């Protein structure tokens, strides 16, 4: 079962209002084992529609697009389809902008001048369940959530175990499953199971949301 999941195709939706950018990214990905580009969208609204109809595992999302920008499109997609991961592709590396991308639900972001290897590695890592947000941006996003949110949706379904708390603390530090496994001397599959249990109990869809909710509830201190 684990082997089947390891070799499952990562189904990707490309979103950019420039067809040549989509073609370039598609050319990079189409010969990569385990990655399948299942569709394209040329606007934020089309991205929301394609996310609903195609149900990709992951979306590579441009930001500056007509009718609906990539951050708002990400927010809408994550609200309706929380299991879909989003990598934001942008030319803007300003911190306030990136924080908004994190708050919208982005699991990672890449500058448009990133290498093809960086793109491929990000796709594989995010598909594995990683959040590739730098720690200082994750903490800034968590702080912003604490300062601007008066109600935490859903609270926590049931208490986390001590072992789950060990993992959650490391999620808020931005560690990936393998890094958590190494630090706690656990098998990677054990960490993955605990992460899934944490997400279920906290009623969130991904690690970034779990980290921000943990801080908002005071479960983990900044």
Whole-number Å distance between alpha carbons of 109 and 130: 12
CATH superfamily to which 2-128 belongs: Response regulator (3.40.50.2300)
Q: How many Å apart are CA 50 and CA 56, to the nearest integer? A: 9
Could you give the dihedral angle defined by the CA atoms of residues 65, 67, 71 and 72, in that order, rounded to the nearest 10 degrees?
-170
Fold of 152-216: Arc Repressor Mutant, subunit A (1.10.10)
Residue pair 74/106 in contact (Cβ under 8 Å)? The answer is yes
More confident residue, 83 or 60: 60
pLDDT > 80? residue 127: yes
Please check whether the two domains, 2-128 and 152-216, share a CATH topology. Answer: no
Residue 134 or residue 117, greater confidence: 117
pTM over 0.75: yes
103: pLDDT confidence band, cut at 50, 70 and 90? Answer: confident
Q: Domain boundaries in the chain?
A: 2-128, 152-216
Q: Is pLDDT at 1 greater than 50 in this prediction?
A: no
The mean pLDDT value of the chain amounts to 86
Tokens read off for 46: 């089309």
% pLDDT > 70, the chain: 91
The pLDDT assigned to 222 comes to 66
- Indicate if the pLDDT at residue 172 is higher than 50: yes
Confidence at 148, pLDDT banded by 50, 70, 90: low
What secondary structure does DSSP assign to 50-116, as a single string?
Answer: HHHHH--SEEEEESS-SSS-HHHHHHHHHHH-TT-EEEEEES---HHHHHHHHHHT-SEEEETT--H
Cα gap 73→43, rounded to integer Å? 9
Q: What is the pLDDT of residue 146?
A: 63
- State whether the Cα torsion 27-116-124-84 is positive or negative: negative
Going from the C-alpha of 9 to that of each of 34, 82, 141, 180, the distances in angstroms are 4, 19, 31, 25
Quickly state the pLDDT bin for 2 (edges 50, 70, 90): very low
Average pLDDT of the residues in 196-220: 82
> Residues 55-68: what's their mean pLDDT?
92
Residues 6+ apart with CB under 8 A from 117: none
pLDDT of residue 52: 97
Q: Give the pLDDT of residue 176.
A: 83
Would you place residue 109 in the very low, low, confident or very high pLDDT band (cuts 50, 70, 90)?
Answer: confident
Q: Which of 51-60, 97-106, 211-220 has the highest mean pLDDT?
A: 51-60
At residue 86 the predicted structure's pLDDT band, cuts being 50, 70 and 90, is: very high
17-21, 200-204, 205-209: which range is least confident on average? 205-209
Q: Partners of 111 in the beta sheet?
A: 90
Residue 3 confidence (pLDDT): 44
Q: 73, 210, 55: which is closest to 129 by C-alpha?
A: 210
Backbone angles phi, psi at 111, to 5 degrees: -75, 150
Name the phi and psi angles at 115, rounded to 5: -75, 165
């Amino acid at each position: 079962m684990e082997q089947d999941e390891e070799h499952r195709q990562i189904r990707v939706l490309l979103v950019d209002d420039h067809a040549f950018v989509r073609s370039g990214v598609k050319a990079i990905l189409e010969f990569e084992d385990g990655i399948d580009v299942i569709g394209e969208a040329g606007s934020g609204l089309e991205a929301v529609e394609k996310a609903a109809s195609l149900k990709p595992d992951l979306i590579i999302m441009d930001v500056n697009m007509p009718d609906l920008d990539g951050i708002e499109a990400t927010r809408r997609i994550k609200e309706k389809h929380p299991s879909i991961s989003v990598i934001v592709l942008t030319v803007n590396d300003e911190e306030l902008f990136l924080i908004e991308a994190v708050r919208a639900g982005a699991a990672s972001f890449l500058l448009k001048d990133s290498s093809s290897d960086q793109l491929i590695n990000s796709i594989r890592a995010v598909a594995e369940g990683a959040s590739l947000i730098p720690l200082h941006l994750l903490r800034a996003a968590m702080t912003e959530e604490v300062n601007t949110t008066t109600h935490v949706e859903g609270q926590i379904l049931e208490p986390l175990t001590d072992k789950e708390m060990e993992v959650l603390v490391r999620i808020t530090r931005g560690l990936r499953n393998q890094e958590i496994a190494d630090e706690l001397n656990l098998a990677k599959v054990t960490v993955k199971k605990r992460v899934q249990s944490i997400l279920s109990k906290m009623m969130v869809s991904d690690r970034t949301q779990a980290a921000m909710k943990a801080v908002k509830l005071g479960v983990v201190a900044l």
